[in-house]
Amino acid sequence: MAPLRAGIVGAGIAGASCAGTLAAAGWDVDIFDKARGAGGRLSTRRLEPGWATLGTPFISAKRDPFRSQLRDWARQGWLAPVRGEVLHGRANKGWAHAQLQNHYLPLIEPSQIVRKLLGTAHLYTESRVSAVRPRTIILENGQVMGDYDCVVCSVPVPQAIPLLDALPRLSERLGDVRYRPIWSFLMRWEGGPEADIIRFDDHLIDLAVRQTAGGEGLWTVHSSHEFAETYLEASEMEASTRAASAVMGLLGLPWPVEVEASHLWRHAKPESTIGGFWLGDRENRVALIGDGIAGAGVERAWESGVRLAQALMLAEVELADCPAISALDAG
Ligand SMILES: Cc1cc2nc3c(=O)[nH]c(=O)nc-3n(C[C@H](O)[C@H](O)[C@H](O)COP(=O)(O)OP(=O)(O)OC[C@H]3O[C@@H](n4cnc5c(N)ncnc54)[C@H](O)[C@@H]3O)c2cc1C
């Protein structure tokens, strides 16, 4: 019997975990991403030397199965637990040291971890999808990729809605999901606290994370949502100058601070979600996953992909002569 075929839009951690789980079970999986590589919000910026993260700075797990998945990745040398050096507060008002349980920092590029999750799935990069139809994925260049037993859309909800014109039963369920933005910056400065992570108690700046693979004094700084909403349409120059000035003020450090890169994540984190792990249209064999469906964060996104894959595999076994997704509506 020919293997079942899945087509997946979006090679972030949700799409990749779904793709890899299905591929490991013998499915023939195509996965398309508009970017130059896999990773999505876990993608990395290449530097001379090394790399740095502008997206998710660390990966954490609240429970199994993701907790044991992270331990496994740590055993493989991909991650290391965050230990001790976390500061909360403002330098001039005193710092509090804290422990972060079950939080890991990547030792290899997070995008490589996502890439490894794909297993034998076929990754098509720089392949922007313009529409999802029953059993079919249409690329922006007009190419029609089709006859899938299941199509999975794994992109942030505001980016999914325009792809789903032919699937009103799904798109109508998505209207209420909102995302909030974050500006991220790579900044280099001298001095300051010895910590690896600084959590600011501030309305403009949220977090700074030391980037050890990118050379001395390199930090990723994440703005607050409020900052990003205020500077949503600002130039990189304006946003980075405002952020650098705020960070130096908070740390009590003098300039110079060099801003080496900046990125506005318009869809950084969902503030509301659909609930459950995935949403499916069984007649049309299309399902949606990702953090906009399952809840904010890497853990929920990963689990949404794995859970959908498991449900598809179960449907395949239980309903051998029926379409794999026919047993599914939501899970
Ligand atoms: C700055 C920042 C900080 C964060 N901090 C944390 C944190 O501390 N802890 C935590 O748990 N989570 C954090 N998150 C959230 C976390 O990164 C996400 O919840 C998670 O990575 C979402 O994964 P995903 O697979 O659902 O989506 P994504 O990673 O967004 O993947 C979607 C993919 O779809 C692709 N795509 C979109 N449209 C198309 C199209 N039309 N055609 C083809 N491909 C398309 C994109 O290129 C992308 O690769 C943070 C996010 C950001 C941005």
pLDDT tens digits for 187-246? Answer: 999 988 878 888 888 899 999 999 988 788 999 999 999 999 999 999 999 999 999 999
Three-state secondary-structure class, residue 214: helix
pLDDT score for 183: 98
Beta bridge partners of 138: 131, 144
Closest CA to 159 of 56, 7, 270, 38: 270
Inter-residue contact 257 to 264 (CB < 8 Å): no
> Is a pLDDT exceeding 60 seen at residue 269?
yes
Q: What is the pLDDT of residue 325?
A: 44
Q: How big is the CA angle at 295 (ends 293 and 297), to the nearest 5 degrees?
A: 125
Name the 3-class secondary structure at 73.
helix
Pocket of ligand 1 (CB under 6 A): 9-15, 32-35, 40-42, 55-58, 60, 128-129, 154-156, 159, 182, 184, 222, 265, 268-269, 290-291, 296-299, 301
pLDDT at 319: 42
Residue type at 278? W
> Where does the pLDDT of residue 156 fall: very low under 50, low under 70, confident under 90, or very high at 90 and above?
very high
* Within this chain, domains 5-38+118-175+272-327 and 47-109+179-270 share the same CATH topology: no
pLDDT at 274: 85
Give the alpha-carbon dihedral of 49, 125, 223, 225, to 10 degrees.
Answer: -170
> What mean pLDDT is reported for the chain?
89
Q: Which residues pair with 270 in a beta bridge?
A: 179
**pLDDT score recorded for residue 212:** 84
Percent of the chain surpassing pLDDT 70: 90
Residue 331: per-residue pLDDT = 62
What local confidence, expressed as pLDDT, does residue 88 receive? 64
CATH of 47-109+179-270, one of 3.90.660.10, 3.40.50.10810, 3.40.630.40, 3.30.565.10: 3.90.660.10
Determine the pLDDT at residue 64.
94
Dist. CA 157–CA 163, nearest whole Å: 10
Q: Which amino acid is at 88?
A: H
Topology classification of domain 5-38+118-175+272-327: FAD/NAD(P)-binding domain (3.50.50)
Measured in Å, residue 136 CA sits from the centre of ligand 1 at 23
Helix%, strand%, coil% for the chain, nearest 5: 30, 30, 40
| 40 CA → ligand 1 middle, Å | 5
Would you kindly state where each structural domain of the chain is located, as residue ranges?
A: 5-38+118-175+272-327, 47-109+179-270
CA distance 322 to 252: 65
